[in-house]
Structure 1
Amino acid sequence: MKIATFNVNGIKTRLDHLLAWLEREQPDVACLQELKALDGSFPARELREAGYHALWKGQRSWNGVAILSRGVEPVEIRRELPGDPGDEHSRYLEAAIDGIVVACLYLPNGNPQPGPKFDYKLAWFERLIAHAKTLHDSGHPVVMAGDYNVVPTDADIYNPRSWRKDALLQPESREAYARLLAQGWTDALRHLNPDEAVFTFWDYFRQHWQRNAGLRIDHLLLNVTLAPALREAGVDTWVRGLEKASDHAPTWITLDRKKLLPAKKKKRAAA
């Protein structure tokens, strides 16, 4: 089973790129972020013709998340991150697909910092940490995939010097990500590439793509039930090299479902 995450940076603008990637790589599940489209503009028909069912939550001009599933209907679990009923940003979607809970997330960027956008980033992160704990401890196999807008360590960026003031590298952002991992999540890409410079994002400035001056901000986290099934992890960098590409490249894992730990059974209440 192959599960991927891809910040498409505008699904209408880059639909051809998305369809070409789906046809070539054929992920079983694809979590998309930054749709930049209202619900009615989502290309459900084109994706269905490509063999994918979809759940989506759009938003005008920015944000927006979707979960694609090849050949089977995803079963929606929730359409928002718990903890703030007034939060209208489309940043979280959760579904069950073939026995696995898939959470697709688009964590706030937080720039400029300090300021209200960074405060919102950290508050959203706290809500994610709280909800992630319930997911991790549920006993079900869970993957949380998406654009986390966090560079976990200096090893996850080509050169941190010019990014020190960016929200993606702030100590508070990194500390929140570390607390999330401490619940028991496995950072799949780093786990299987412990010493390599692996990037998932290259911005459009100063020939960063051409120079491979990238960052690792797209992550797939596996809970203890799912982690034993992890087999491979990688980045489809060829997508970033397309003309007028997203500044992100699809990031993926493959799973050996035979190695899944059995789900924990809840204890019966005492009579």
Structure 2
Amino acid sequence: MFSLATWNVNSVRMRLEHLLRWLKLRAPEVVCLQETKTTDQDFPYSEIKDLGYHAVHAGGKGRNGVAILATEEPRDVLIGFPDIDDAEARERLIAATIKGVRVHSVYIPNGGSVGSDYFLYKLEFIYRLREYLENHFDPDQDFLALCGDFNVAPEEIDVYDPELLAGHICFHERERTAIKLLKDWGLVDTYRALHPDEKGAFTWWDYQFGAFKANRGMRLDHIWVSRKLAAKLKKAIIDREPRGWKRPSDHTPVIAYFEL
């Protein structure tokens, strides 16, 4: 069984103990990380290697940073968009081939305030992802996975209060329209494919106001795969356990399992 996970760790150095604990507990074959918040030089390669994982990382000094960990050495590593010169995207998108699957770890921008320049950049980033997929892959011919913190809850079922959050960042109609366009290229939402009507299935909770305990969250973290890979999907889970650990990330991991 091929196991593929994604987790916004909200600082890989700060949550390293959590990451190592979780890798020992779940042992997925491939893990996509986001918001590592470290440079390539300071990424904890050796600690991760001690658990049997190869790691490729693209980061900087800011709040971004993405990585792919794998029990098999990642091949044909790509950082950023191949056809566009975008320095920030080089800390938000990394791809590699593992066991015949083209895996992408992506950290879509949060977008800041609705209507801001950064919000527009978020939309542009999503559209660039769609264009990149169109130019380089075929959803019915390629084993492809797009994993990460999309910073978008696609549907009303993916937020705790759709009326309250309507028009807010991560649930704004323009973001949801953009992410649907991305999905319509030929991607399948692995979690929703197997849990189409499940409510309260969130991956992010605010640190404040007892949000996690009350399950006031949003489903922002996703594993979307090409139609060809989706045909091999057997199981998908949201692993809430790490969100309950001491000083956790505000996100929790998602894992999908495939019979390749």
Please confirm whether the aligned pair reaches a TM-score higher than 0.5, indicating the same fold: yes
Quick check: 1:182 aligned with 2:184? yes
Letter in 2 for 1:147: D
Deviations 1:238-260 (CA, angstroms, capped at 9, x unpaired): 00000110000000100011xxx
2:210 aligned residue: 207
Query: Which structure 1 residue ranges, 5 or more long, are not aligned?
Result: 258-271
Q: Is the 8 A contact 2:105 2:148 kept in 1?
A: yes
User: Could you say what secondary structure the match of 2:227 adopts?
Assistant: coil
User: What secondary structure, in the 3-state scheme, does the structure 2 residue paired with 1:167 have?
Assistant: coil
How far apart, in 2, do the equivalents of 1:245 and 1:168 lie? 21
Mapped to 1, the partners of 2:113 and 2:83 lie a distance apart of 24
Q: Residue 248 in 1 paired to residue 234 in 2?
A: no
- 8 Å Cα contact 2:94/2:104 also seen in 1: yes
**Which residue does 1:146 correspond to in 2?**
148
CA RMSD of aligned residues (A): 1.3
Structure 2: distance between partners of 1:161 and 1:240:
25
- Partner amino acid, structure 1, of 2:172: Q
List runs of 5+ in structure 2 lacking aligned partners.
Answer: none
**Shift of the alpha carbon at 1:78?**
1.1
Query: Structure 1 residue 224 and structure 2 residue 227: aligned?
Result: yes
Question: How far apart, CA to CA, are the structure 2 residues paired with 1:104 and 1:135?
Answer: 16
Relative to the length of structure 2, the TM-score reads: 0.95
Which position in structure 2 is the counterpart of 1:84?
84
User: What residue is the counterpart of 1:19 in the other structure?
Assistant: 20
Q: CA deviation at 1:160?
A: 2.3
The offset of 1:50, in angstroms, is 1.0
State how far apart, in whole Å, the 1-side matches of 2:247 and 2:104 are: 28
For the residue of structure 1 that corresponds to 2:84, the secondary structure is coil
Q: Alpha-carbon deviation of 1:87?
A: 3.0
- Distance of 2:105 and 2:160 partners within structure 1: 26
Name which one, 1 or 2, has greater alpha-carbon Rg.
Answer: 1
Kindly indicate whether residue 75 of structure 2 is the aligned counterpart of residue 75 of structure 1: yes
Q: 1:244 to 1:54 in 2, by over 3 A?
A: same
Superposition deviation, residue 30 in structure 1? 0.1
CA pair 175-83 structure 1, distance change in 2 beyond 3 A: farther
Which amino acid in 2 is paired with 1:88?
A: E
Within-5 A mapping of 1:2-151: 2-70=3-71, 72-89=72-89, 90-137=91-138, 139-151=141-153
> Does the CA-based 8 Å contact 1:136-1:224 persist in structure 2?
no
Shift of 1:170: 1.1
CA deviation after TM superposition for structure 1 residue 183, in Å: 1.7
Mapped contact 1:37–1:61 kept (Cα < 8 A): yes
Secondary structure class of the residue paired with 2:228: coil
Contact kept, 8 Å, 2:80 with 2:86, in 1: the verdict is no
Which residue is equivalent to 1:236? 239
What are the Cα deviations for residues 199-223 of structure 1, in whole angstroms up to 9, with x where unaligned? 1111112111010111101111111
For residue 81 of structure 1, report the CA deviation from its aligned partner.
2.0
Contact 1:11/1:35, CA 8 A, preserved across alignment: yes
CA distance in 2, matches of 1:126, 1:97: 25
Compute the TM-score of the two structures, normalised by the length of structure 1: 0.91
> Which amino acid in structure 2 is aligned with residue 167 of structure 1?
I
Paired residues of 2:102 and 2:143 also in contact (CA < 8 A): yes
